Amino acid sequence: MFSIDKERSIIYTARRMSSKPENKKRIESLYVLKALCSVMVVIVHAQMWGKSALTPLLGLATPCFLAITGFLLYSADCKRELGKATKWARKCFFLSIVCNLLYLTFYLIDGTPLTHYSCEKLLINLFTGHLISTHLWYLTAVWQGLLLMWLLRRYAPGLINFAPLLYLLAYVLRAYGKTLFPELSSDTLFILRANAIVTALPFLATGYMAHKYHASILQKVSIIPCLALLTGLIYAEYALRLYTEIGGSIFFISTWPMVATLMLACCRYHNFTLPMLSNIGHEHSANVYYFHVLVLIYLNRWCPAQTELQALLVYVGTLPISVIFNKAQKLTSELAYRIKACQTDKRGV
């Protein structure tokens, strides 16, 4: 006869297997793109040999992350789509809390006074994601953007087609905000341009629409010439800004069509893969985004002279943290599932 623990283990395993949906073949090129974007995010914040030549393309990283999320969100089954949006929004919400608490802990240990973080500021951070570590705005924008996508899909699905137009507001604020609104502080401008409405929602909708309409679009569009043309336009606007001394961020008017074209390229070349990059994109790219700033802070203190390879060192140093974080998430998930299974068994007895 089975022991009770062994029997429960078998029931737990069977339930997990039965609860998993049938996996569709994943689009490998999406995960290669995610890995490349995680590299670009690190280069944005760290130093790297040849960075100046890549600068105009670095602004594609975060929009591509958002578009890939929107791409994976799409489903022909409305109920499944709404379920994914709710599940992912909940996950990003808790991730934002965990990451902010982690950074807060490190900063307090590092000597930042607790009085710097008032209750009012912490509440504001909950809705903007900008207070504790600026780059974590992304997580806040994602869970809020997913909720906006849920609302649109549930009550006004046709409006999703127009959501990418909101990117124009982000573009104006990023590229010309200081020129057009000199009275606004840099912090205010950052909050206005890096949020769910003008950044997350437009690119989530872009990825969503690319998945939905890719079959018909790819019959009429040649991907490689489009990528070449848009790359040229991005560098041309970058050169124009340098010439006119306007400056601004690394977002360009061609950023949105470039991101849309990259999503379509992933559909066209869906089997393209580089195994190591694909694995990093699938397992670690998001964690690299969340935790690379911690590695960068301490690397600057321990090896301040390593500027030419700083981004590479930061990237490699973040991967072990990602492995540990993934294992912790997996253990937490399995423990929660076991507790839930035991509670269900007890109610059934």
Q: Does 48 map to a domain?
A: no
Which pLDDT band holds residue 153 (cuts at 50, 70, 90)?
very high
In tens, the pLDDT along 69-108 reads 999 999 999 999 999 999 999 999 999 989 988 998 888 8
Q: Specify the pLDDT at position 111.
A: 80
Q: Does 114 map to a domain?
A: yes
Determine contact, residues 227/261, Cβ cutoff 8 Å.
yes
Q: Specify the pLDDT at position 185.
A: 86
Q: Specify the pLDDT at position 346.
A: 63
Give the H or E element holding residue 306: none
Which pLDDT band holds residue 345 (cuts at 50, 70, 90)?
low
Q: Does 162 map to a domain?
A: yes
Q: What is the pTM of this model?
A: 0.88
Q: Closest Cα to residue 271, out of 30, 74, 24?
A: 30
- Distance in angstroms (rounded) separating the CA atoms of residues 250 and 60: 8
Q: Closest Cα to residue 170, out of 233, 235, 255?
A: 255
User: Letter for the amino acid at 79?
Assistant: K
The domain total for the chain is 1
| Region for residue 273 given its phi and psi (left: phi exceeds 0; alpha: psi -120 to 50; beta: otherwise) | beta
- Going by the DSSP 8-state scheme, the letter that residue 300 receives in this structure is H
Q: Does 36 map to a domain?
A: no
Distances (CA, A) of 232 to 11, 195, 227, 252, 254: 58, 28, 9, 12, 9
- Distance in angstroms (rounded) separating the CA atoms of residues 105 and 130: 16
Q: Does 113 map to a domain?
A: yes
Q: Does 66 map to a domain?
A: yes
Q: Does 158 map to a domain?
A: yes
In tens, the pLDDT along 277-336 reads 999 999 999 999 999 999 999 888 887 767 788 999 999 999 999 999 999 989 988 887
Which pLDDT band holds residue 26 (cuts at 50, 70, 90)?
confident
In percent, the amount of the chain with pLDDT more than 90 equals 62
Domain of 217 in residue numbering reads as 59-273
- Distance in angstroms (rounded) separating the CA atoms of residues 137 and 128: 6
Q: Specify the pLDDT at position 21.
A: 42
Which pLDDT band holds residue 348 (cuts at 50, 70, 90)?
low
Q: Does 292 map to a domain?
A: no
More confident residue, 204 or 340: 204
